[in-house]
Amino acid sequence: MPDIESLYKKADGKILIEIKLSSIMQLYNSFDPSPFHEKELDTDAEKYIIDTIKDFPTKTECKLFIHLPADLAQSEGAKTLVSAIHNHFHYRTMATERKFRQRLRYGRTALLIGLCFLFLNLFIRHLLLQMSDLIVPQLIAEALLIIGWVAMWEPITVLLYELWPIIQTKKVYQKVSMMEIEILPTS
């Protein structure tokens, strides 16, 4: 079975990502009213670029080729494509950074609340176990222990598992926001 690199062209040690367009507007989201240099990319185009980048290790260098009809390749609209793509992914990088900070803040707050709740449950549990050897207080004490640890589930999930995919996505967006892009006429 061939490896993923064999499916892509390479030049100067860089993986070539190629997009063939019949019009410049194919690259942009048709519902976005912004001027070209601020336009949002089409979701399918963005997904294709991101998915291709994710196929390779972070340090793998890539280059984006956009193939346009010869008359469009030299147009003013084509000249704005490079900065539009870089701007789009720079914006995505900033949005992902904001999402990371929000999740981190939420995780820390949830951790503080969870630890306080766990401490309270452990304290009440300790009191219950010292009060009586009856089964009901012991049952309640064990339930408090379980509830206390379950309260820690969310902060642990956020801080240990949810932040890393956000960081990885941000790295991909940063990579594309600085990637070399070339506009070529379709042969």
119-167 pLDDT per residue, tens? 999 999 999 999 878 899 899 999 999 999 999 999 999 999 999 999 9
Same-domain pairing of 90 and 107: no
Q: Is residue 31 part of a domain?
A: yes
pLDDT score recorded for residue 36: 47
Beta bridge partners of 68: 185
**In angstroms, rounded to a whole number, what is the distance separating the alpha carbons of residues 116 and 123?**
10
Rounded CA separation 66/102 (Å): 35
Is 150 inside any structural domain?
A: yes
Same domain, 64 and 120: no
- Whether residues 59 and 36 share a domain: the answer is yes
Residue 172 inside a domain? The answer is: no
Determine the structural domain holding residue 27 and report its residue range: 4-96+178-185
Going by C-alpha positions, the residue among 118, 65, 93, 91 that lies closest to residue 169 is 93
- Which amino acid, one-letter code, is at 13? G
Question: Could you give the number of structural domains in the chain?
Answer: 2
* Whether residue 29 is found in the same domain as residue 45: yes
Does 156 lie in the same domain as 75? no
Structure token pair of residue 156: 């642990």
> Does residue 119 share a domain with residue 73?
no
Per-residue model confidence (pLDDT) at position 90: 95
Is residue 92 domain-shared with residue 125, that is, in the same domain? no
- Assigned domain for 63 exists: yes
Mean pLDDT of the chain: 88
- pLDDT number for residue 3: 66
The answer to whether the CB of 128 falls within 8 A of the CB of 141 is: yes
pLDDT tens by residue, 3-16:
666 677 888 888 88
Query: Domain for residue 57, yes or no?
Result: yes
* pLDDT tens readout for residues 75-109: 888 888 999 999 999 999 999 999 999 999 999 99
CB 141 within 8 A of CB 130: no
Residue 152 is assigned to a structural domain of this protein: yes
Query: Any idea which residue has 């951790």 for tokens?
Result: 111
Do 65 and 117 lie in a common domain? no
H-helix segments, the chain? 43-54, 70-73, 76-131, 135-150, 153-157, 163-177
